[in-house]
Amino acid sequence: MEEIGQSEEKVINLYPKRLEKELILRDELAIERTRLAQERTHLAYIRTGISLLLGGVFFVGYFQEGSPFLYIGYAAIVVACLFGIYGFYHHKKTKRFVDTIVNELLIGGD
């Protein structure tokens, strides 16, 4: 006899041993450390992108046409934009992955 509300979906259990018990303080702190490390990495991408952008703007504004440093400045501006885009993409992907694992742990621990 089937119980009401029982789902036919198959859930993939990434951590079978952990889901048998409730999360302890050490596990909750590890989750927070992971989230903070993710934020710190995202801020490092932003900081690096801004530094490259400012360096590129300086090179473009300071050096005259025909100077090889002018082209280095343009390249730095392009790399800064790419760095910012990649940092945003990496942040979203990692956040989604961490949230998926945390949700599995929290839902499975009840």
pLDDT tens digits, one per residue of 35-87? 899 999 999 999 999 999 999 999 999 988 888 899 999 999 999 999 999 99
Confidence of residue 2 (pLDDT cuts 50, 70, 90): very low
Checking phi first, is residue 64 left (phi over 0); if not, alpha (psi -120 to 50) or beta? beta
Q: What's the pTM value of the predicted model, to 2 decimals? A: 0.67
- Sorted by where each begins, the domain ranges of the chain are 38-108
Lookup: tokens for 83? 């760095």
Q: Which residues contact 72 (CB under 8 A, 6 or more apart)?
A: 56, 59
* Phi, psi of 14, deg, nearest 5: -75, -30
